[in-house]
Structure 1
Amino acid sequence: MAGGTVLNALVAALCLFSSPSAAVPFFSKRQTLTTETIQAQALANAQKVLAGTLSDGLTRGAGCNKDTVAIRKEFGDMTKEERVDYTRAVKCLLNKPSKLPAGKYPGAKSRYDDFVVVHMNMTPSVHATANFMHWHRYYIWAYETALKTECDYKYYQPYWNWGKYADLPTSPIFNGDEYSMGGNGEYVAHKGTSIGMTTIPAGPGGGCVRTGPFANLTIHLGPLMSTMDPALKIPSNPNPQGYGDNPRCLRRDVNNFFVKNALLATTLASHITSNAAIGKFQDTLQTDTAQRSSIHGSGHFSIWGDPGGDVYVSPAEPVFWLHHGQLDRHWWMWANYLEKEVKTRTSQYEGGTNWQNPNSARGKPTDPQWLDVAAPTGKNGIPSNQMFSTTSGPFCYLYQ
């Protein structure tokens, strides 16, 4: 898709929608649940499901139980050893050769890039569709599996708790020390931008990442829909679909603009408790309103930069996986925190199949989902209903 066509088709980029009628409700005065309470209730109920004392209506094999279930942690709660092993494994994927057909995607230089290409190919069918949450759960799990099976990672996929850090650039994720995910981009003078209904001011970065484990990382794919100031002169990709080899530095503009409103812990708790059906839950999660930007987009644009602000190529930003780990956790909390609703919410599935076509066919729980070469062996094309729970289908993990 040529750059101009992409720009017309994806006006809202990662925010995807701009409907003021889909406003995320504010906290009710009677609603006192916090994200900590929701997390605790969700974990307790998920453990009951594993123990067989609470049913979510799904079947789980004997291989997933309280003794074998993996526990995913918030990045800042991991030990230094765990964090270092995680970034080591990510760099291992960055240094392993691609498994994609030679010459078809010239910018796919590494095994890591395989995951980026898959996301680029799947973007229209896995955003603002019935399988937005489901496909990304599958995708994150496949990435975690690759880290473990191909790069000997000993732990599990971490997440970034959006409401935890008031000053994101100095957080354990972005402070630039050896235990982080690398620092912010160097400061360069640049302008902000407008994404959907949100005007984002320029942050304290904008330049290349020069500190931490991903200092001087080279990005090859994209950009396909850059949201950075054109004055920064980020080179265009030689291929109109963004698949050409376009070596350039990883840029970030890590900022606190969104953590002060859309990503506040109270806002996140309100979103979970105010949406009883998955259709509304997913739509409000991805939709800008006149009051605030979308939660999903706010996470991406808190990192911003290149390729972090590009809806197609964003997985080339290593923190993408922490952001979408939190997105999966947010859904997991919504599905599990009310004991009487666990069975109903776990299997809800609603939406179309192509976000660029509002009249696309409705998604079905039996629809196969695809990861191509990113899929673990024998696990490509499994149906969405195998992704309803983190402890059924191919999955066996909970969030701490």
Structure 2
Amino acid sequence: MGLLSNSLLALLVTAGLVVAGEQCSPETTAFRKDWRALNAHERTEYIEAVWCLRRQPAHLPNNEYPGVRDRLDDFVATHINYTTAIHANALLLPWHRHFTYLWETALREECGYKGYVPYWNWPATTNLTEDPLFDGSPTSISGNGAYDPNEKPRCDPPYGCEAPGTGGGCVTSGPFKDFEVHLGPFNNSHAGPHATLPESAWDYNPRCLKRSFNQPILDRTNNEAAMKRLLDAPDMDGFLDVMDPSDKSHIGTHGAGHRTIGKDMTDVYSSPQDPAFMLHHAMIDRMWTLWQERDIDNRRNALNGTDVMYNPASAPLVTLDHVLNFGCLDRPRTVREVMDTRGHDYCYSYH
């Protein structure tokens, strides 16, 4: 028996005759793929769908959000609004899982995209400028930024300083070389447990997309050994220690992926402006999903941490009943609703 129509399924769910997620079966599960596994036509379809969102009108009101100019900016603004509640804590994984799903749904329902969000395979990317995802070809998501000799090393007190990347300027090749970003930039040093957005948060600030590839960060932090440590982690505390340690004792694979791309991807608030963001977070979700599936009974609902950045001791621990907010993108969701990729609204996994 095939999938129920969306309208019939909604009626049955409302009537209590079927539990959301029960329509998911091995035959109907969608699989998200490595970008490298997509053919040229599939890659082009994804690229065109991203540009389609750029052409769709925003749902957020322009008089309140003057910098939000299109549907893609709705996603950026939503991420900005909730940044300090969804990073370096228990909500990084569940919130971004649903955020990526909402992006995928918008591509499919609003732009006619037939596929699913692909992922960026970190350890397979041994040379960023030659990788099919970033080589600057027409079937990539564009390449590096122009070289900026004045780009400074990035210094964070807990981690020390990193050498600058190999770009720093505007992206110069590929389908997104003329791609504008509209919001920010934000000062990452202001991001913290009780940070508030600046008055200029929603100003319209059009400029080019910038990147600065840094292969050594990827090689050091997002390698095969790190993937093994993620999958072998005995509990969520161990998994997050590799993925995104809230104590800032070291950089995790989440942060390292952002820094590998550089510039706009390193803005903790507005990084969804770079088309690489969703593929990076699809890989994060992939590793979490694979970890869960190794022991689904014990790991499906595993959580660790609070809903406050860096998990201060005074903040209460997150539970499955904690409510996640997505602004104009979706209704509020409980954490329970987003923990199983084959439950509730979801029916997907990863190759």
Structure 2 vs 1, CA of residues 89 and 290 (structure 1 numbering), >3 Å: closer, same or farther? Answer: closer
Structure 1: which 4+ aligned runs deviate by more than 6 Å?
A: 288-291
CA distance in 2, matches of 1:260, 1:171: 14
In the alignment, which residue of structure 1 is the partner of 2:174? Answer: 212
Give, as a single letter, the amino acid of the residue that structure 2 aligns with 1:191: K
Local SS of the residue matching 2:109: helix
Following superposition, the deviation at residue 242 of structure 1 comes to 2.3
**1:140 has 2:100 as partner:** yes
Deviations 1:96-146 (A, max 9, x none): 111002311111111000000000011111112222111110000000000
Q: Residue 127 and residue 176 in structure 1: after superposition, are their counterparts in 2 closer, same or farther (change >3 A)?
A: same
Residue 339 of structure 2: aligned partner: 388
Confirm whether residue 192 of structure 1 aligns to residue 146 of structure 2.
no
Tell me which amino acid in the other structure corresponds to 2:254.
H
One-letter identity of the residue aligned with 1:381: P
Contact 1:123 1:312 survives alignment (8 Å): yes
Partner of 1:53: none
Q: Does 1:167 align with 2:93?
A: no
Q: How does 1:234-245 map to 2 (within 5 A)?
A: 240-245=199-204
Give the equivalent residue in structure 2 for 1:374: 329
Residue of structure 2 equivalent to 1:46:
none
- Alignment length (residue pairs): 323
Residue 113 of structure 2: aligned partner: 153
Aligned pair 1:88/2:48, yes or no? yes
Equivalent residue, structure 2, for 1:301: 259
Tell me, what secondary structure is at the counterpart of 1:394? coil
Larger RCO: Structure 1 or Structure 2 (Cα < 8 Å, ≥ 6 residues apart)? Answer: 1
8 Å CA contact 1:197, 1:289 repeated in 2: no
Counterparts of 2:325 and 2:306, CA distance in 1: 16
Aligned amino acid, residue 334 of structure 2: P
What SS class does the counterpart of residue 89 from structure 2 fall into? coil
Report matched runs for 1:305-344 at 5 Å. Answer: 305=263, 307-337=264-294, 341-344=295-298
Distance 2:198 2:308 in 1: 23
Alignment of 1:175-186 (within 5 A): 175-186=135-146
Task: Pick from 95, 102, 122 the counterpart of residue 62 of structure 2.
Answer: 102
One-letter amino acid of the structure 2 residue matched with residue 141 of structure 1: Y
Note the C-alpha offset of 1:239: 6.0
1:201 Cα deviation from its structure 2 partner? 1.0
Q: CA deviation at 1:215?
A: 0.8
Cα gap change, 1:289/1:278 in structure 2, threshold over 3 Å: closer, same or farther? closer
Do 2:62 and 2:68's aligned partners in 1 also have CA atoms closer than 8 Å? no
SS at match of 2:256: helix
Alpha-carbon offset, residue 282 of structure 1: 1.9
Where does residue 38 of structure 1 map in the other structure?
none
- TM norm structure 1: 0.77
Task: Quickly say closer, same or farther: Cα 1:291–1:259, change in 2 above 3 A.
Answer: farther
Q: Structure 1 regions of 5+ residues with no counterpart?
A: 1-58, 228-237
Partner residue of 2:15?
none
Please, which moves more after superposition, 390-399 or 183-192?
Answer: 183-192
Residues 238-278 of structure 1: per-residue CA shift (max 9 Å, x gap): 963521101111000012021221111122212321x2121
C-alpha distance in 1 between matches for 2:34 and 2:24: 22
Q: Percent of aligned pairs with the same residue?
A: 33
Aligned to 1:32: none
Q: Report 1:12-161 matches (<5 A).
A: 61-161=21-121
Deviations 1:275-294 (A, max 9, x none): 21213322432139999632
Query: What corresponds to 2:209 in structure 1?
Result: 250
TM-score, normalised by the number of residues in structure 2: 0.87
| Alignment check: 8 A CA contact 2:167 2:213 kept | yes
CA distance in 1, matches of 2:45, 2:183: 26
Letter in 2 for 1:184: N
**Amino acid corresponding to residue 193 of structure 1 in structure 2:** R
In 1, the alpha carbon distance for the partners of 2:265 and 2:283 equals 16
Distance 1:185 1:74 in 2: 23
**Alignment RMSD, CA only?**
2.0
Q: Deviations over 1:345-400 (max 9, x none)?
A: 1111221111166122221201121112122xxxx112111111111011110100
* 1:347 matched to 2:301: yes
Structure 2, unpaired ranges of 5+: 1-18, 190-196
Instruction: Tell me, in whole angstroms, the C-alpha distance in 1 between the residues paired with 2:168 and 2:62.
Output: 33
In structure 1, the residue matched to 2:228 is 269
Q: 1:325: Cα distance to partner?
A: 0.3
Distance in 2, matches of 1:262 and 1:104, equals 40
The change in CA–CA distance for 1:286 and 1:69 in structure 2 (over 3 A counts) is same
